[in-house]
Amino acid sequence: MMTLYSGITCPFSQRCRFVLFEKGMDFEIKDVDIFNKPEDLAIMNPYNQVPVLVERDLILHESNIINEYIDERFPHPQLMPGDPVMRGRGRLVLFRMEKELFSLVQVLENPEATNKEQVKAREAIGQGLTMLAPSFAKNKYILGDDFSMIDVALSPLLWRLDYYDIKLGKSAAPILKYAERIFQREAFIEALTPAEKAMRR
């Protein structure tokens, strides 16, 4: 059985919980207090961070790497595109999402970041999401008609917009509509921790 070491408010852990629930197989989630980390976390992950996935002698860290492993291990429903061209495109979107948005999410998650750094991060995330918004007026999901791993990866940020105090302008309306579509998925709801549920009222 797979065990996921997960932070109860960690957006990266939420991605992995979401995929585990989409797959509907047996797994165990171990909640980790990131302010009081268990000693073995640093042994499992040299960066001493959650999420970490353990299955027998396999230990993985990095949310997107964990999610691709789960997707290949339990192919139904398949969350990475089946077609190599679309899969290549999807991986590129994931890469850019990390570089341009989730690097800033890490600033907002870092209690040692200065207020100035956090203000800048909020603004840049707001701008990045607003730039993405028009594509959601045309497409149901990030890669087109089908829900994919790329939607999974973005969703924890969309869930936290109020919590992070990120303001989006009117032109970003299509992305908020898209977000509601993701939030209604059964697996998304099941994967939320009580602390995450409390982030949106």
Residue 16 annotated in active site: no
For ligand GSH, give the closer residue by CB, 51 or 81: 51
Encoded tokens for 135: 């594509």
**Tokens 């948005």 appear where?**
101
Asked if 62 is part of the footprint of ligand GSH (rule: CB under 6 A), the reply reads yes
**C-alpha of 190 from chain center:** 15
Could you tell me which stretch among 6-14, 75-83, 127-135, 141-149 binds ligand GSH (CB under 6 A)? 6-14
- Asked if residue 171 lies in contact with residue 130, where contact means CB atoms within 8 angstroms, the answer is yes
Q: How far is the CB of 73 from ligand GSH (least distance, A)?
A: 18
List binders of ligand GSH among 30-59 (CB under 6 A). 34, 48-51
- Asked if residue 66 lies in contact with residue 60, where contact means CB atoms within 8 angstroms, the answer is yes
Encoded tokens for 188: 């998304």
Q: Characterize the bridge pairing of strands 27-32 and 2-7.
A: parallel
Of the CA atoms within 13 Å of residue 55, those in its CB half-sphere come to 12
Q: How far is the CB of 137 from ligand GSH (least distance, A)?
A: 29
Could you tell me which stretch among 3-11, 18-26, 136-144, 187-195 binds ligand GSH (CB under 6 A)? 3-11
Q: Characterize the bridge pairing of strands 2-7 and 52-55.
A: antiparallel
For ligand GSH, give the closer residue by CB, 51 or 126: 51
Q: How far is the CB of 109 from ligand GSH (least distance, A)?
A: 5
Asked if 14 is part of the footprint of ligand GSH (rule: CB under 6 A), the reply reads no
Q: How far is the CB of 11 from ligand GSH (least distance, A)?
A: 6
Sole binder of ligand GSH in the list 6, 63, 67, 193 (CB under 6 A): 63
Asked if 151 is part of the footprint of ligand GSH (rule: CB under 6 A), the reply reads no
Q: Characterize the bridge pairing of strands 58-61 and 52-55.
A: antiparallel
* CA-based end-to-end distance of the chain: 34
Q: How far is the CB of 107 from ligand GSH (least distance, A)?
A: 11
Task: Specify whether the backbone of 62 is left (phi greater than 0), alpha (psi in -120 to 50) or beta.
Answer: left
Catalytic annotation, residues? 10
Binding site for ligand GSH (CB under 6 A): 7, 10-12, 34, 48-51, 62-63, 106, 109
